[in-house]
Amino acid sequence: MQRVLVTGANGQIGSELVAALRERAGVEHVVGADLRPPPGAPAGNGSATASGPHEVLDVRDRAALERAMREHHVDTVFHLASLLSASGEEAPDRAWDVNTNGLKHVLDLARACGENEGRRDGADHSVRVFWPSSIAAFGPATGTPAPQQAVLDPQTMYGVTKVSGEFLCRYYHQKYGVDVRGLRYPGLVSHAAPPGGGTTDYAVEMCRAAAEERSYTCFLEPATRLPMMYMPDALRATLDLMDAPAEALTARTSYNVGALSFTAAELAEALAARAPGGFDCRYEPDPERQQIADSWPATVDDQPARDDWGWQPQYDLGALADDMIGHLQAGFKSKVEG
Ligand code: NAD
Ligand code: AKB
């Protein structure tokens, strides 16, 4: 049975990925890890919460990570702990430290824990790792659609850590045989946990405002078009990539995965069509986040992901808007009534 550690477990992706993995592998086999206990759990350093095992740790602390991996006999790590594009520009030193050193610790421990414990038979003696890159690895020189073998031209510290992380992953695979796999996620839209300091956060904020019948002031221009994806597609892509046979994989940096490409105005229009009282969306671009968004491509070419492990997105903009509005309205109503 798989024993999984998810770092950044309290985040936008982690909170849903932990739940999806627990459905598949059983609650006790999936350990969350983050700087804090999961929302709703009592504070403290305990390694079990009502929802399942959880370790309070900082991924910059290699000894704490090692302890968690060994104590829980972890054979797969989903390493999500990170600062994102906007929060990374506010704290570039911390972004470099968390994103780069955190990943290096995970890769070193994947190699060391696997070798020392020899739990996997055959040629594969390392712990498997999933690590996400981002469209932030691209930049103005990349072009649209961004190809798999792209000119990587990051304009943010976050993007710099994604580019260095991609090559670190490939190095550990080539040099030490670590089975590390990655996706260049687009901006992710979801309703369960709030986004954590990115440039594409506007999309989630806009959906929430529309569902709660509030107006929204968007921090990007209406014509800004970016690659985006609905969370159920992102979770499926993540799990499918990790389930794929190693020999099918041709990219050990990170795979492009495309799904949607919409402008802020197109999302606002889709939401207005579904909001009972209409939707008032205004635009006051924030220069820093606008500059970041303008440096990213509008679409990506994900043919290698489709060819190698059968990637196929399921949600278009209409399906995303329907599902987001449905979930967010239900949550809002029960909050108001309760
Ligand atoms: P998030 O900000 O919502 O969550 C990150 C989590 O990491 C937070 O819970 C935070 O507390 C934790 N964390 C931060 N520093 C830590 C540290 N030093 N030690 C332990 N935990 C720490 O981020 P997310 O959106 O869930 O993103 C997860 C991963 O996916 C990141 O690598 C991110 O770059 C990548 N990604 C996300 C998106 C997106 O749109 N959400 C897009 C592309 C790539
Ligand atoms: C961000 O906006 O920083 C993230 C990402 C696209 O990596 N959502």
Tell me which of 126 and 61 has the higher pLDDT: 61
Q: Is the pLDDT of residue 103 over 80?
A: yes
Q: What is the mean pLDDT of residues 198-211?
A: 97
Q: What is the mean pLDDT of residues 181-199?
A: 96
Query: In terms of DSSP bridges, do strands 48-49 and 52-56 run parallel, antiparallel, or are they unpaired?
Result: antiparallel
* Best residue among 82, 134, 205, 219 to mutate for probing ligand 2, ranked by most atoms within 8 Å of CB: 134
Q: Is the pLDDT of residue 116 over 70?
A: no
What's the CA gap between 292 and 85, in Å, rounded?
A: 8
Question: pLDDT grade, residue 299 (50/70/90)?
Answer: very high
- pLDDT by residue (tens digit) across 144-162? 999 999 999 999 999 999 9
Q: What is the mean pLDDT of residues 171-197?
A: 96
Asked if residue 145 has a cis previous peptide bond (ω within 30° of 0), the answer is yes
Q: Which atom of ligand 2 is nearest to the CA of 85?
A: 3
Specify the pLDDT at position 47: 64
Q: State the DSSP code for 246.
A: G
User: What residue type is assigned to position 90 of the chain?
Assistant: E
Specify the pLDDT at position 123: 40
Active site residue 158: yes
Active-site option among 158, 172, 185, 230: 158
Q: Which tokens sit at 165?
A: 């992380």
Residue 178 · residue 262 · CB < 8 Å: no
Helix spans in 186-277 (H): 201-211, 231-243, 264-272
Beta strands in the chain (DSSP E): 4-7, 30-34, 48-49, 52-56, 76-79, 128-130, 133-134, 180-181, 183-185, 187-189, 216-218, 225-230, 255-256, 260-263, 281-283
Specify the pLDDT at position 48: 61
Specify the pLDDT at position 49: 64
Decide: helix, strand or coil at residue 260. strand
Tell me which of 47 and 289 has the higher pLDDT: 289
Question: Does ligand 2 lie within 6 Å of residue 84's CB atom?
Answer: yes
Q: Is the pLDDT of residue 316 over 80?
A: yes
- pLDDT by residue (tens digit) across 248-266? 999 999 999 999 999 999 9
Give percent of the chain above pLDDT 70: 93
Q: Which atom of ligand 2 is nearest to the CA of 162?
A: 7
Specify the pLDDT at position 297: 98
Chain center to CA of 98:
15
Residue 207 · residue 328 · CB < 8 Å: yes
Q: Is the pLDDT of residue 13 over 80?
A: yes
Ordered structural domains, the chain, with CATH: 82-337 (3.40.50.720)
Sheet holding 255-256, edge to edge: 133-134, 183-185, 255-256
Report the chain's mean pLDDT, rounded to a whole number.
93
| Phi-psi sector, 29: left (phi>0), alpha (psi -120 to 50), beta | alpha
CA angle 68, 238, 176 (to 5 degrees): 60
What's the CA gap between 27 and 241, in Å, rounded?
A: 22
Specify the pLDDT at position 308: 98
- pLDDT by residue (tens digit) across 44-95? 545 666 689 999 999 999 999 999 999 999 999 999 999 999 999 999 999 9
